[in-house]
Every structure is written in structure tokens, then in C-alpha cells.
Amino acid sequence: MIGSSRQLRLLSMLVLILFTGAINSETLLGRFIKERKEKDPTAEVVVATKYAALPWRLGRKSVLSALKDSLSRLGLSSVELYQLHWPGIWGNEGYIDGLGDAVEQGLVKAVGVSNYSEKRLRAAYKQLKSRGIPLASNQVNYSLIYRLPEENSVKATCDELGITLIAYSPIAQGVLTGKYTPENPPTGPRGRIYTPDFLTKLQPLLNRIKEIGQNYNKTPTQVVLNWLVAQENVVPIPGAKNAEQAKEFAGALGWRLTNDEVNELRSLASQTKPVIGFPVEKL
């Protein structure tokens, strides 16, 4: 079933989420899919990719032509999910019409958007609905320490309209895995957000995540991803750099934190809020 959360979940765990325009990753993924299918013709591969509303790509028709280019790089006749990468500054209606055309032409099974506010979500949902097409997903920044979607009604609107919330940065660039400590903060730009001071305030949360994980025989990463899945209607998309990480991420599924644990982690996370009030996008 299109956009069913099981399918999306499978997708999120197994397949790279691509940026349209990242020519090499689509070409590479196309090659890997071909190799995999040669070894095992029954292998199920679910692909999601994105359309970037770049200044030179305008309107409805450009969505289809970009998608056709993606499909040819991937060597596929259709993909499971096609997403608008971010809201266009203008011409969003044209892009949404283009997504609808892609579904009608059988080039994609489901369509979604990224970083859409409640208002944009409702408009896009309505526009697609008038053609009988569901809006399958909205990809936004969401993790235990970045809960804006809970505060700006995006999560509630997704739930209300049956739109799956795809959570990017679900482990907050590794900070929620517990790999950084006040003594060992990240280097580079991340070090400016995740300062030793911030990491100190985060310790109670990280310690509890670890403790809960031990009860389930799970890693902190698996706990943090499970917390997102427990919000219902949320599919986290951590970026796996190797097979080991992919296996770890897959271990976030098939079990569930209790409601008490879910609430306790949110409340511990809330206590770090003042420090996280300056995400990179505002710097």
C-alpha cells in the first residue's frame, strides 16, 4: 500500500535517501540495485529520492523532467517515493501539480514534501487530494533534542492528515549516540553547537538513554530511534555510513519503549532546551 508506514519504514532503514542533483549517488545506487538483483532477483528494494526546486528549475514540467533524469540514472522505471526537497520560494503550486503528474504517469508510487509548515502542508494536501492523490510524507528535522515539529503543529497536522513524518537528523549528528562527552566534544562547526557546556547539561538524558538501552539489550542509538518510532507515524532516516551502522539502525525496530520511558526521555530532553535554541540554520 502506497505510503504505508511499514513500507516507508523499510525504505528508511534500507535505502539511501538521495538528493536529486547528487548525480553520483543516484548512479551508484542504480548500479548497486542492479548488482543486488542479479544475485537475488527476489530482493525488494524501495527507493526514495528528491526534487530540488533550484532557481533554474521552474514549475510543473521541471518536476517530471528532473524525475525522468533521476530514473534514468537509477536505471529504474519508477521509484516508491518522490519528495520536494524544500519549499520553493514561489511556484509551490506548480511543483505540487508536477508531483501529481508523476504519480498519474506511473513514475512514482507516492509523493511527499520536506520542511513544510502546517500551512503549506494543508495547502499541498488539498491540492493533491482534489486529484485523488495522497500526500505521503513530510521530511523535517526531528529528534529528542530538536522537537520543533511537536511545537509548531507539524507533527499534529501530519497525524491528522495521514502524512508520514520522515525525521531527518534523528540522532542529532551523533550527539544522541553518546559518542561525545564534555571532555571529548565534536570538532569543527558541530563543536560550536555541541559545546562542553551543552554536553554537560545533556549528560542526564544520555545516561538515562544508555541505562534504558541496557534493559533491552539495545544501544543508545537504537533507543533514540525507537523513541521517534514510538511517536507513531514517524519514520527516522539515520544516515548509515557502513553495513554495521545499517544493522544497528535496523535493531531500532521490532520492540518498543514503554510510554513511561518515552515520556521520561522527553522530559529529560526538555531540560536541555535553552542550550539547543540555536541550531545551525540560525547561525
Binding part of the chain for ligand NAG, among 125-133, 140-148, 155-163, 204-212 by CB under 6 A, reads 140-148
- Name residue 124's amino acid: A
Binding part of the chain for ligand NAG, among 60-68, 141-149, 209-217, 231-239 by CB under 6 A, reads 141-149
Among 20, 49, 137, 143, binds ligand NAG (CB under 6 A): 143
Among 94, 174, 182, 279, binds ligand NAG (CB under 6 A): 279
Q: Is 272 among the residues that bind ligand NAG (CB under 6 A)?
A: no
Give least dist CB 146 to ligand NAG, A: 4
Whether 134 and 161 have beta carbons less than 8 Å apart is answered as no
Q: Is 141 among the residues that bind ligand NAG (CB under 6 A)?
A: yes
Strand partners, 135: 111
CA angle 280, 281, 283 (to 5 degrees): 65
Count of positions on this chain that bind ligand NAG (CB under 6 A): 13
Closest among 90, 102, 31 to 63, alpha carbons compared: 102
- 235 three-class SS: strand
The smaller minimum CB distance to ligand NAG, of residues 260 and 281, is found at 281
Q: Are strands 48-51 and 79-84 parallel, antiparallel or unpaired?
A: parallel
Residue 106 falls in which region: left (phi positive, over 0), alpha (psi -120 to 50) or beta: left
Give least dist CB 54 to ligand NAG, A: 13
Residues 63-92 close enough to bind ligand NAG by CB under 6 A: 86
Q: Is 281 among the residues that bind ligand NAG (CB under 6 A)?
A: yes
Tell me how long the chain is.
283
Question: Rounded to a whole number, what is the distance in angstroms from the first to the last CA of the chain?
Answer: 41
- Distance from C-alpha of 120 to C-alpha of 69, rounded to nearest angstrom: 27
Binding part of the chain for ligand NAG, among 49-57, 102-110, 120-128, 275-283 by CB under 6 A, reads 275-283
Q: What is the DSSP string of 145-179?
A: TB-HHHHSSHHHHHHHHTPEEEEESTTGGGGGGT-
The smaller minimum CB distance to ligand NAG, of residues 18 and 145, is found at 145
Whether 66 and 85 have beta carbons less than 8 Å apart is answered as no
The smaller minimum CB distance to ligand NAG, of residues 107 and 237, is found at 237
Give least dist CB 149 to ligand NAG, A: 11
Secondary structure element (H or E) that encloses residue 112, with its range: strand 108-114
Residues 174-233 close enough to bind ligand NAG by CB under 6 A: 193
Among 5, 114, 164, 272, binds ligand NAG (CB under 6 A): 114
Among 146, 180, 198, 227, binds ligand NAG (CB under 6 A): 146
Q: Rule CB under 6 A: which residues touch ligand NAG? A: 86, 114-115, 141, 143, 145-146, 169, 172, 193, 279-281
